[in-house]
Structure 1
Amino acid sequence: MRWDWLLAAAQPSSAPVTQWPLRIALVLVVVAVIALVLLGMRAGWRRRARLQADLPAPALPPSTSLASVVGPVPGVFLGSTAHGDWLDRIVVHDLGVRSRATAEVGAQGIALRRQGARDVFIPAEALHDAQTGRGIAGKAYERDGVLVLTWELGGRLVDTGFRADVGDEQGELHEAILGLAAEHGRAGEGLR
């Protein structure tokens, strides 16, 4: 018995490509749409930076380690937003950039040492409140998954999100920051 007909039927074959100009045009349209979306995102980020240009750069942490009350606690710096609006990201001075970080609480304030972005120091006098929440800067997590620090920068209240790698360490960090805010008479001033 001959099996040639079965082998011929099993061979993959495709129709010859026709209408090359139409296919190339469709690919170019898709590439152009993607490019326009990326350019629009970039323009929005730059516009936001222009609107926030009056916001001063946050202080840098001391070069030496703080006399730590808690920390350093490894985690993720989630970004900063205008107080009370967790979608209004602060983009100037790398405050909107998500990055790996460590948080350290000392009597002078809170040091957020970041990888690949500018470090941030929140002086104890500028700290208003610390609370846990579901998210910040467009990122949502489980209940109480984000530590939100409310602090003053250039006369404006800013919310900064930090998520510790280990939940117990986040609780210790939260308690230490609340204690620091209470020492400076500011506990609860930044409540949403």
Structure 2
Amino acid sequence: MSAQPDAPLTADGRLRVLVRRLRPDAHLPAYARPGDAGADLASVVEVTLAPGERGLIATGVAIAVPAGWVGLVHPRSGLAARHGITVVNAPGTIDSGYRGEILVNLVNLDPSESFTIRPGDRIAQLLLQQVAEATFDEVDSLPETTRGETGHGSTGGFAGIHDRAPGAPAELSPRRTS
């Protein structure tokens, strides 16, 4: 999807996002490599999360997401894979009207090890996406589709899923074989 005509663009065609540094030691969002979708967000605080504990981690920056766009805060795959650290409300949403500090809601899913976040640690990724504002029109019925009203596991993904009767709901828990 291309930028809206009124969206502020830089000379090289990138979306211009205004950033306010709230603390002198804060890192501005930055892409680690060319072509990366997410810009890294870094912590400005030291916080230790015990197993199962969550916390709002300050980044020390606020941004002005342009109208018609949204900032989405995603987990960092390395933190999740190596330490069980992820974003609780992934993705977090930064609306275009929000001007407060970006706080990242992290949780430690490791069952036994605490994890310490230190100032400067990259803790999440910020993705910017264009969004449409909708008008919601109430109707008595919706247009028919082949999927219909099925959801929550209706397309399967589990061995034996095709053994169920047509129209029967898909099981969401593993089958017992004994």
Structure 1 length normalisation: TM-score? 0.22
Higher gyration radius (CA):
1
Structure 2 length normalisation: TM-score? 0.23
Tell me: higher relative CO, structure 1 or 2? Use CA pairs within 8 A at least 6 residues apart.
Answer: 2
